[in-house]
Amino acid sequence: MAEKMLQPKNVDLRLERFDRRIVYEKCGRAKYISHLDLMRAMQRAIKRAGLPVWYTQGFNPHIYLMFPLTLSLGFESRVEVMDLALLEDMPFEETVRRLDAQMSEGMRIVSCALPVHKHTEITHAGYKIRFTADRSPEECRGLFEEFLARDKIEIEKRTKKKTANIVDIRPFIDVREISCGGDGVCLDLLLPAGGSFSLNANVVIETFFEMYGLECDELCIERTKILIANGKLFT
Amino acid sequence: MEEIRKKLDKILLKALKPARYIGGEIGSVVKERDKVDVRFAFCFPDTYDVGMSHLGMKILYGLKNAVPNWWCERVFMPEHDFEKLMRDNGIPLYGLESLDPIKDFDFIGFTLQYELSFNNVLQMLDLAGVPVLSKDRKGLTPIVVGGGPCVCNPEPMADFFDIFILGEGEEVNLELLRLYEKMKSEGTDKESFLRAAAGIEGIYVPGFYDVEYNDDGTVSSIVPNVPEAPEKIRKRVITDLDGVYYPESFVVPFSEIVHDRSVVEVLRGCIRGCRFCQAGFIYRPFREKNIDTIKSETKCLCEQTGYEEVSLSSLSTSDHTRINDLLLSLSDYTDGEKINLSLPSLRLDSFNEELLERIQAVRKSGLTFAPEAGTQRLRDVINKNITEEEIMSTCRMAFEWGYTQVKLYFMLGLPEETDEDVRGIAELAEKILQLYYDTPKEKRGRSVQIAVSTATFVPKPFTPFEFEPQATPEEIMHKQEVLRSAVKSPKKIRLSMHFQNTSILEAVLARGDRRLCKVIFDAWKKGCYMDSWDEYFNFALWQEAFEENGIDMGFYADRRRSYDETAPWSHLDYLVSRDFLIRENKKAHRAITTRNCKEGCSGCGIGADMGGVYCGGKNASAQKR
């Protein structure tokens, strides 16, 4: 009996697989889907689309899906990446079409291609941040410039051991543009992502709000690009 | 509504699991407002995680939305954090599909699944900006309707609802909404509509009945006060489960919910007649779907939702007349699609080994039994047709299969229960433990854990125990002590017992009358809601509300009713006859069992024309269809 129970269910092993890199959009209502929920939603979408996907070969087979970066709850993005594997060499366009038809409001499949870079090659990500607060846009912009002019911006960063480290994040904030638009401020910045050190755009903006005692009214953060070491796009 | 949408964008990220409050899930139905004539807010008076698991809501949501010019939306009780954010930002309760305020809808419908969710109805109406009392809602809309099992005695909620819907909803909901659509276009008012609605079978308008009481506090009469209202309101029954509407897709939530899977209903009603079980009586007669229907619904749902798990739903799946064929046929499909077939409420002993092997190949979980009572005598009292032999033989098989966990469910405070019966619970657990030790080492799993959990019995309307008093807190405490000291192997046998005051409140509300409306209202005003959540339940506030109204909980909870007392629900007809319930009550006190429907009809009062598999002598004596 015991031997029987130890046998994996997925016994028809399929070793040949066709790796695919999917780029998708997560905007609007969909920005409230947490990363964990998103993984589940994608598995179900794949199932509904009837894609011939590769399953993991363990005791508890599940659809193979890899996300190189997580997108924080509340962020929008048109450049999100997920990898999956197919059992047959399905044309890219067909994969896009079938999967896109199963997306919920705010989600869209942008493209499908062969993976080029490894996940570990990711170093940075670009963000567009737009916010309004209880001061005028010009004032906020001035304060943000002052924020950036500091020698050090120290925050507490939790480590895996649940202890807190003090980290100076100033060197990691690479601001490409600051502008005032409408009733808010727009920021364009690059932050370290993936790999050993990453910095959440939320942390930057919240540290700023806190430091100057600003009351945030509206905050929109969009990830705009994912980059590798030489500043090239991750594909 | 743009305004709510904008406000939500500002607050959602401050709430826990915000995906629950914004809709947009796959399978949710969005229509164009100006092409819709009837709007229905289907409210589940508990959180999203709980409500989204409810099958009835999925059925009625799909049913109404299948009509092009009706739009049914989902509404749940927000958690405290989000509720506060809503109030602070002036956001009224809204439908998850349109994000429009539900106070502008034609209907606001609640499903009453358990008594402790009653106050959430008031809280949700208030959050919606709708007066909680029916008499304060003068306009035609919103019409507040209620359905679900608790509607078999909705009297404690009578003041808050305009309409109750008795029994199964698939047909009567359509009839009610069609009538409304027609009358609304002719320019009706609330009173006229309610009078017309009262003529539909299964529709109960509580405002059209006057209740009188005797000096001793019992009900003396319940009489209609308009000609349109029938003296007795009969519950609705779907006679053909193969022909009735079943959704082709579910709303697939993003965040994890309690039952996150496809669910296919295989049968309704139950043949067993356990005397404590309300579901076993109010959902009669026993009807089933044929295998082809179940198979095609399973396939369709799995394809439409992408769920990798499907669960068969019923009160007792193994009572399907062709259960073996059904499971073989289903597992052919689910195995191929790598879908996990989960089978709650199964009696393992009825299967051959090959079938067990196929099903168990998926995922192995613990084994669960509900003997409910510790001795055969008491199981006979409650008519729980499971013998110690059956439990033992299944456990033996399970241990040989490598199972290491057995869960046992019992009730304390059953009628006729003695200390001996309570000790019997521990003895049964010890015997099962011994069975594990007797299993050859090479076959059994490495260690064993037996979980014994006891709940307090709550007598419910339309059961043979509706006449019985609930055990008092002192009695329950004594029984718990007896049980605790009877367990000899506390390391292997884990006891979990709770007598919570929630059981008392549940007992009071379950058999309450209209005088409790005021108590519920006052308790709600004091801040009582989310009562089924331990962290929010506040019994002291409830007690205050009862005291201030001069109402004794004991009158409702632990008083024995005589057979000739007029029950607060005596104007409601759930087809099971009162004579039958009295007969069953008398047999219970003599520990005499009643055969199940399959073995032969016991004359519960359900007519042969209700679609019951065994009704009217059909298929009796274990014949297969």
CB B190 within 8 A of CB B196: no
> Do B176 and B190 share a domain, yes or no?
yes
Using an 8 Å CB-CB cutoff, list chain A residues near B24: 28-30, 104-106
- Domains, chain A, in order of start with CATH, read 2-115 (3.30.70.580), 120-228 (3.30.70)
Range of the domain at B381: 364-515
CB contact under 8 A, B10 and A217: yes
- Buried-exposed string B43-79: b where 16+ CB fall within 10 A, e elsewhere: bbbbbbbbbbbbbbbbbbbbbbbebeebbbbbbbbbb
> Do B428 and B536 share a domain, yes or no?
no
Q: What is the pLDDT of residue B350?
A: 58
CB contact under 8 A, B254 and A37: yes
B592 domain residue, yes or no: no
What confidence tier does A5 reach under pLDDT thresholds 50, 70, 90?
very low
In the numeric block, the tokens 């997306």 are attached to A103
CA distance B4 to B95: 11
Q: What is the pLDDT of residue B158?
A: 98
How far is A49 from chain B, CA to nearest CA, in Å?
A: 8
> Do B145 and B187 share a domain, yes or no?
yes
Using an 8 Å CB-CB cutoff, list chain B residues near A45: 26, 306
| Percent of chain B surpassing pLDDT 90 | 82
> Do B13 and B80 share a domain, yes or no?
yes
CB contact under 8 A, A9 and B254: no
Last residue of one domain, picked from the residues B231, B253, B269? B231
B593 domain residue, yes or no: no
Using an 8 Å CB-CB cutoff, list chain B residues near A60: 363
* Residue B25 forms contact with A (CB below 8 Å): yes
Using an 8 Å CB-CB cutoff, list chain A residues near B357: 4
CB contact under 8 A, B255 and A37: yes
Half-sphere exposure of residue B443: CA atoms within 13 angstroms, side-chain side = 12
Q: What is the mean pLDDT of chain B?
A: 93
> Do B524 and B509 share a domain, yes or no?
no
pLDDT digits (tens, 9 = 90+) for B501-544: 999 999 999 999 999 999 999 999 999 999 999 899 999 999 99
> Do B510 and B524 share a domain, yes or no?
no
> Do B467 and B541 share a domain, yes or no?
no
> Do B377 and B421 share a domain, yes or no?
yes
Q: What is the pLDDT of residue B405?
A: 87
CA distance A189 to A169: 13
Q: What is the pLDDT of residue A4?
A: 43
Q: Span A215-223, mean pLDDT?
A: 93
Using an 8 Å CB-CB cutoff, list chain B residues near A46: 306
Q: What is the pLDDT of residue A55?
A: 87
Last residue of one domain, picked from the residues B216, B231, B246? B231
What confidence tier does B363 reach under pLDDT thresholds 50, 70, 90?
very low
> Do B415 and B494 share a domain, yes or no?
yes
* Closest by Cβ to B13, choosing from A37, A60, A74: A74
Q: Is the predicted pLDDT of residue B365 greater than 70, yes or no?
A: no
Q: Is the predicted pLDDT of residue B351 greater than 60, yes or no?
A: no
Q: Which residue, B378, B340, B385, B382, is CA-closest to B358?
A: B340
pLDDT digits (tens, 9 = 90+) for B577-602: 999 999 999 999 999 999 999 999 99
CA distance B123 to B341: 38
H/E run at residue A201: helix A201-212
Hey, what are B570's tokens? 């005596």
B563 domain residue, yes or no: no
B539 domain residue, yes or no: yes
pLDDT digits (tens, 9 = 90+) for A75-117: 999 999 999 999 999 999 999 999 999 999 999 999 999 999 9
* B161 secondary structure, DSSP code: -
B231 or B403: which carries more pLDDT confidence? B231
* Residue B363 forms contact with A (CB below 8 Å): yes
* Residue B442 forms contact with A (CB below 8 Å): yes
B296 domain residue, yes or no: no
* Residue B404 forms contact with A (CB below 8 Å): no
* Closest by Cβ to B12, choosing from A32, A43, A55: A32
* B610 secondary structure, DSSP code: G
> Do B13 and B146 share a domain, yes or no?
yes
pLDDT digits (tens, 9 = 90+) for B126-148: 999 999 999 999 999 999 999 99
Alpha helices in B89-149 (DSSP H): 118-128
Query: Is A233 in a helix, a strand, or coil?
Result: strand
Q: What is the pLDDT of residue B241?
A: 96
Last residue of one domain, picked from the residues B550, B567, B597? B550
Q: Does the bond joining B154 to the residue before it have cis omega, within 30 degrees of 0?
A: no
Using an 8 Å CB-CB cutoff, list chain B residues near A38: 254
Q: Is the predicted pLDDT of residue B299 greater than 90, yes or no?
A: yes
CB B287 within 8 A of CB B321: no
B617 domain residue, yes or no: no
> Do B437 and B543 share a domain, yes or no?
no
> Do B81 and B170 share a domain, yes or no?
yes
Half-sphere exposure of residue B399: CA atoms within 13 angstroms, side-chain side = 24
Q: Span B10-23, mean pLDDT?
A: 93
CB B466 within 8 A of CB B460: yes
Half-sphere exposure of residue B608: CA atoms within 13 angstroms, side-chain side = 6
CB B64 within 8 A of CB B173: yes
* Residue B354 forms contact with A (CB below 8 Å): no
Q: Which CATH number covers residue B410?
A: 3.30.750.200
**Chain A residue with minimum CA distance to B364:** A5
Q: Kindly report each contact of residues A12-19 with a partner whose C-beta sits within 8 Å and lies 24 or more positions away, as own/partner.
A: A13/A57, A14/A54, A14/A55, A14/A87, A16/A87, A17/A54, A17/A64, A17/A85, A17/A86, A17/A87, A18/A85, A18/A86, A18/A87, A18/A88, A18/A89, A18/A90, A19/A83, A19/A84, A19/A85, A19/A114, A19/A115
User: How buried is residue A72: exposed, middle or buried, by Cβ count under 10 Å (0-12/13-18/19+)?
Assistant: middle
The complex's ipTM?
Answer: 0.85
Q: Which of A40, A59, A108 to mutate to test the interface with B (most CBs of B within 10 A)?
A: A40
Domain count of the fold of chain B: 3
* Closest by Cβ to B19, choosing from A32, A62, A218: A32
What confidence tier does A2 reach under pLDDT thresholds 50, 70, 90?
very low
B237 domain residue, yes or no: no
* Closest by Cβ to A5, choosing from B18, B23, B402: B402
B591 domain residue, yes or no: no
CB contact under 8 A, A1 and B9: no
Q: What is the pTM of this model?
A: 0.92
- Buried-exposed string B134-171: b where 16+ CB fall within 10 A, e elsewhere: beebeebbbbbbbbbbbbbbbbbbbbbbbbbbbbbbbb
Q: Which CATH number covers residue B41?
A: 3.40.50.280
What confidence tier does A58 reach under pLDDT thresholds 50, 70, 90?
confident
